[in-house]
Amino acid sequence: MKDDNEEIMKLIEEEEEVKNYNEQRNELRLKAKESIQKIQEENVKNYNRKRKKATEYKVGDTVAINRTQFTQGSKFTLRSDSQKAS
């Protein structure tokens, strides 16, 4: 009978330890998630601080499109084409 009570008490203590461990782990996860979110927001803010806005083109505006792929024999060709935005 004494052994049965001791075993039951050990099981209850183990369950409580597991429960406490899981609660602490979940709290740490939440804190880590919040700190990561805060750092990411700061990074976005710092990145966007010096970023210039994209140029908006209207239909019919003339724009220069730079060539990014060069072929053999293109040494003397123009590096950009003027085209109308569509």
What pLDDT, in 10s, does the model give residues 52-81? 888 888 888 888 877 776 677 666 666 656
**CA 54 from chain center: how many Å?**
22
Answer whether residue 86 shows pLDDT above 60. Answer: no
How many H helices and E strands in the chain? 1, 2
> What is the C-alpha separation between 35 and 33, in angstroms, rounded?
6
Domain extent listing, the chain = 1-47
Q: What is the pLDDT of residue 78?
A: 63
Q: Which two tokens stand for residue 66?
A: 């730079």
- Where are the extended beta strands (E) located within the chain? 62-66, 80-84
> What is the C-alpha separation between 72 and 78, in angstroms, rounded?
14
